[in-house]
Amino acid sequence: MNKLGMQHVKPFFTRGILVDMVGLLGRNMEVGEEISAQHIKDALAKQGTAMPGEGDVVVFHTGWGDLWMVDNAKFNSGCPGIGLEAAAMLVEAGVAVVGSDTWPVEVVPNPDPKLAFPVHQEFLPKNGIFIHENLASERLAEAGVYEFAYIFSPVPIKGATGSPGAPLAVY
């Protein structure tokens, strides 16, 4: 981890995009419900938001965060999230970070029972895309904010694979 540790990650100051799945579907998503590439396109079109591009941060609002400290058993049982098809679209777009109001960003359980956290593998080691979990995306969705400046300064802990901290969405 000396080569890939958090001590090498610089602060982020870039365009953030909220993909409001609750707004698209008219309801909170359910455990194991997968967000497809088409879902992303449809949500962005409904919001009037341009597709993500190089260096952008994409944050998903699934409504799953509503369960935190209310129904922790359900919150921890799995969650909605993106699948490999949506991940491939985001990799192709060149995004820097993908976040969500869920604990793994990707759908759990995976629709393919032979796969364990394949989106993590596509993002982190294969493409250098960071993951930001358990974000309070409801605040942006409630305010109707779909584009913002994403600001996050990771703690440069030598050899660490992640960082604590609070990202800012400025709009």
Which tens digits make up the pLDDT trace of 48-61?
999 999 999 999 99
Is residue 164 a part of any domain in this protein?
no
Is residue 41 a part of any domain in this protein?
yes
Structural domain boundaries enclosing 20 = 11-154
What domain count does the chain have? Answer: 1
The tokens for 151 are 């600001």
CATH classification at residue 111: 3.50.30.50
Residue-wise pLDDT tens digits, 129-153:
999 999 999 999 999 999 999 999 9
Residue-wise pLDDT tens digits, 107-119:
999 999 999 999 9
The tokens for 23 are 């707004």
Q: 161: pLDDT confidence band, cut at 50, 70 and 90?
A: confident
Q: Are 62 and 80 in contact (CB under 8 A)?
A: yes
Is residue 1 a part of any domain in this protein?
no
Is residue 31 a part of any domain in this protein?
yes
Burial level of 80, CB count in 10 A (0-12/13-18/19+)? buried
Q: Are 153 and 35 in contact (CB under 8 A)?
A: no
Is residue 54 a part of any domain in this protein?
yes
Is residue 4 a part of any domain in this protein?
no
Is residue 171 a part of any domain in this protein?
no
Report residue 100: phi and psi, to 5°. Answer: -165, 170
